[in-house]
Homo-oligomer: A and B are copies of this chain.
Amino acid sequence: MPKVNISELALRDAHQSLLATRMRLADMLPICPKLDAIGYWSLECWGGATFDACLRFLKEDPWERLRLLREALPNTRLQMLLRGQNLLGYRHYSDDVVRAFVARAAANGMDVFRIFDALNDLRNLVTAIEATKEADKHAQGTICYTLSPVHDAGGYVKMGRELAAMGCDSIAVKDMAGLLTPYAASELVKALKDAVDLPLHLHSHATAGLAEMCHLKAIEAGCEHIDTAISSMAGGTSHSPTESMVAALRETPYDTGLDLEKIQEIGIYFYQIRKRYHQFESEFTGVDTRVQVNQVPGGMISNLAHQLKEQNALDRMEEVLAEIPRVRADLGYPPLVTPTSQIVGTQAVLNVLTGKRYQTITNEVKRYLQGGYGRAPAPVDDKLQRQAIGNEELIECRPADLLHAEMERLAADIGKLATSDEDVLTYAMFPEIGHSFLEHRAAGTLEPEPLEPPSSTVDDNRTAPTEFN
């Protein structure tokens, strides 16, 4: 019985973090027999941005991807990332859509549902957790880790207790920005293990180069599950290398029991596969510790750079980086994760470029201040809230409580283009690109975006003896 269990992220988070979520099913299936033989606790392979990328760029049916992965991986748990009441889309859905989505994902082969909410508002997790348990699947309640004056280990422990009470089978600590440090990880894990009698999963991005150390200290503190990515898809904005963690723990009380040599073969496979996606490599996926100073995730900085460049205002970056924590404070310190990272970032850019804070307020910030995303971790700025929503009513309940059942309407809307509940859900997640996908599918005109040919192989320039010292 291994003491530490590994969830491998190669098929979802790793390529989402490094290759703009572009890995195709055709490049996954050939390695599935080897992946399935390793003995990973789970393979994360769906959710996050994969659904979007499948429809938008790859012209793959995400449900078909799930079914084929299920077939190719009969012995390993499949895991997905689910944004609570947002599912895989960018708005809150009515409960009947959430239930249908979870039920269909389960029926198509999903085993483990990692469910989170960007605000850590647990009301936004209730329906998805219930639906997962109804489908007799593994519900993993997720704590989004962040730093702020209102976040501390005590608050996370309270969340952990509530997730346990909600019927979760395990708890995940999700450090999407690489904010965790090793000794903070150790303390948090100890506190959670003391309070909650559930298996604990740590998901810490390697953005700041701290993930391996965080995992090691978490394991020493009692964490039994870590998330890693095969080495050729690891590091930087991705995750700790699987092989390195397996090697680090071998012949210790924390031994994973996995065969390092067999995992290395998988690493070599993805090393070659990654080359096919060279056009999606980015300069901004390397180790970047700035998040440890300003709490702005590295990936968010590159998005901001993009936004500023389009406005010919790249020189305002420092001001924007200084404005982000202020906007975040005004909004009651939301963790910065999809969609709050975009909400905060865009407003901060506006605040800087217009020269007057909140002269323009985005619709998303307005909805946020109104309570449309749920409850902020701390009270939002009162004056700003009044300015933004005027006389409109505050939403104090769970936002989805205001939504009527919508599966029937969605099915009617999409009509014959949908040949299954799954298709209706595809349309529900992405009304425009989902519709277009189903249309092209019906017409037989689906065409994935082209891949650039490989760049010429670099010759080895090292004519002097290579030294090791």
Chain A residues within CB distance 8 Å of chain B: 13, 16, 20-21, 48-49, 52-53, 56-57, 81, 83, 116, 174, 176-177, 181-183, 208-210, 212-213, 216-217, 231-232, 234-235, 240-241, 243-244, 246-248, 250, 252, 260-261, 264, 267, 271, 279-283, 286-290, 292-293, 297, 299-300, 302-303, 306, 336-338, 341-342, 458, 460-462, 464-469
Contact = CB atoms under 8 A, between A and B. Distances in A.
Contacts of A267: 289
A182 to B, nearest CB: 5
B292 A260 contact: yes
Give the interface centre of A48, A341, A461, A466 by most chain B CB atoms within 10 Å.
Answer: A466
A210 B464 CA distance: 28
A465 B289 contact: no
Contacts of A252: 183
A467 B48 contact: yes
B174 A336 contact: no
23 contacts: A20-B464, A20-B466, A48-B467, A49-B465, A52-B464, A83-B469, A174-B469, A181-B247, A181-B248, A208-B244, A209-B234, A209-B243, A210-B247, A213-B216, A216-B216, A235-B235, A281-B458, A297-B468, A299-B468, A300-B468, A306-B460, A337-B468, A337-B469
Give the interface centre of A282, A292, A299 by most chain B CB atoms within 10 Å.
Answer: A292
Give the interface centre of A176, A212, A458 by most chain B CB atoms within 10 Å.
Answer: A212
Nearest to A306: B460
Given A208-B244, A234-B287, A341-B468, 4 more contacts: A209-B241, A282-B461, A302-B460, A338-B468
Copies of this chain present:
2
Given A49-B464, A176-B469, A209-B212, A264 B290 contact: yes
A286 to B, nearest CB: 7
Give the interface centre of A217, A458, A460 by most chain B CB atoms within 10 Å.
Answer: A460
A464 B56 contact: yes
Given A264-B293, A287-B244, A289-B247, A216 B182 contact: yes
Given A52-B464, A241-B287, A458-B283, A248 B469 contact: no
In the A-B complex, the 3 residue pairs with the closest CB atoms: A209-B244, A243-B289, A338-B467
Contacts of A460: 282, 302, 306
A279 B244 contact: no
A260 B231 contact: no
Contacts of A302: 460, 466
A454 to B, nearest CB: 12
Contacts of A303: 466
Contacts of A116: 469
Give the interface centre of A176, A280, A300, A465 by most chain B CB atoms within 10 Å.
Answer: A465
Contacts of A283: 458
A461 B20 contact: yes
A53 B181 CA distance: 38
A468 B289 contact: no
B462 A282 contact: yes
A288 B48 contact: no
Nearest to A81: B469
B231 A209 contact: yes
A231 B231 CA distance: 18
Give the interface centre of A53, A264, A300 by most chain B CB atoms within 10 Å.
Answer: A264
